[in-house]
Structure 1
Amino acid sequence: MKTIKNLLMLFALVIALAGCSSLRTASDFDKNADFNRYKTYNFYDKGIARVKLNNLDKRRLVAAVEAEMNAKGFTKSERPDMLVNLVVVAREKTDVYGPAYYGGWGWGGGWGWRGGWGSPFWGGGNYVNQYIEGTIIIDFLDPAKKELFWHGRGSGFNLDNLKKREERLYTGVKEILAQYPPNALAAK
């Protein structure tokens, strides 16, 4: 019985951790924009100044975006075709799991297959997971028109987890920017 209880608690913990680590991405864009004309980029300084991250994470985020933009063939320039604006939104999350339901199986009273040898019971305590969840927003702006032409976001970053933080930022930025340019997605 104790083994089953331990396995169920382990299963609940795995589900809880899996739920916290999934990144949800989405994007939107101006359907009239000519994405082929954008070849160079730089960061929107006022936006970078307002990013609510410590300086280490801010540099990591900028480096992740630069690496992905360069991998896509864009060149950083002082006179760019597009400006990259970054926004980070954080909110406190609480996940509560439990108590778990443990039901038996076997031949019960009366006719047919019923719940276990004895009645089912409730067991285990509540498990609470509190953390800060972040959303990273990457906007591309046309400096000549002063208009937003592409918007991407990734939600579900666990900002409390300091282990592998840089790797997670790079992976998250890559997943967000995988949706740019939108015409490439439509062609697939």
Structure 2
Amino acid sequence: MKTAQKLLMLFTVVLALAGCTTLRTASDYDKNVDLSGYKTYNFYDKGIARIKLNNLDKRRLMAAVESEMNAKGFTKSDRPDLLVNLVVVAREKTDVYGPAYYGGWGWGWRGGWGNPFWGGGTYVNQYIDGTIIIDFLDPAKKILFWHGQGSGFNLDNFNKREQRLYTGVKEILAQYPSIVSAAK
């Protein structure tokens, strides 16, 4: 019976952690700006210099953005229509699980047959939770015209990190209005 309790607790923890693997994305844009006029891009150098990631992850993030921008039909240029600004915000997060209630079967509390009981220990998961922000800036007008973000990126998890960065950037940039994306 104790094995079943432990398996149930482990399953609950794994399920809770699995729910934390996808990014929560959101975006906003200036509806007064004609987005169809933007066809070329480059990175905003001052923003890239401020990204709080190691250089390996910074290059991965930029490569993911380049890949997705190219897939959307944009072209990288030295004289771009838009600048891509990247920001990564990190905060320490702690998740606490347990003890959990098991049972519920039986006759009564503190007596009778099949008492319900509390079981398992408390599990603590500490990690760095990241938010990836992608902003599109118009260098001629000096305005921000599109903002996208994805929160819930576990920066302490090195498992399939490059793949998760690419997936995260893809999910964020999927928020860019498709009816006005650059023509291919």
- For normalisation by structure 1, the TM-score amounts to 0.90
Considering only aligned residues, what root-mean-square deviation do their CA atoms show, in Å?
A: 1.8
Moved over 6 A (4+): none
Match of 2:146 among 143, 150, 153: 150
Aligned mates of 2:87, 2:113 — CA distance in 1: 57
Matches within 5 A, 1:39-188: 39-106=39-106, 108=107, 117-181=113-177, 183=179
How far apart, CA to CA, are the structure 2 residues paired with 1:117 and 1:74?
A: 69
1:104·1:116 contact (CA, 8 Å) conserved in 2? no
Q: Is the 8 A contact 1:103 1:116 kept in 2?
A: no
Check the 8 A contact 2:36/2:180 in 1, yes or no.
no
What's the CA shift for 1:3?
3.0
Is 1:17 aligned with 2:17?
A: yes
1:124, CA displacement in angstroms? 0.8
Task: String of CA shifts for 1:133-168, please: whole Å, max 9, x gaps.
Answer: 100000000111000000000000000011210000
Q: Deviations over 1:71-119 (max 9, x none)?
A: 000000010000000000000000000001012424x37xxxxx98332
- Unpaired runs of 5+ residues, structure 2, are none
> What is the identity, as a one-letter code, of the residue corresponding to 1:58?
K
Partner of 1:112: none
Does the 8 Å contact 1:93/1:131 carry over to 2? yes
- Figure out how many residues of one structure are paired with residues of the other and give that number: 179
Tell me by how many angstroms 1:43 deviates: 0.4
- Contact between 2:40 and 2:75, CA under 8 Å: does it hold in 1? yes
2:150 aligned partner, one-letter code: G
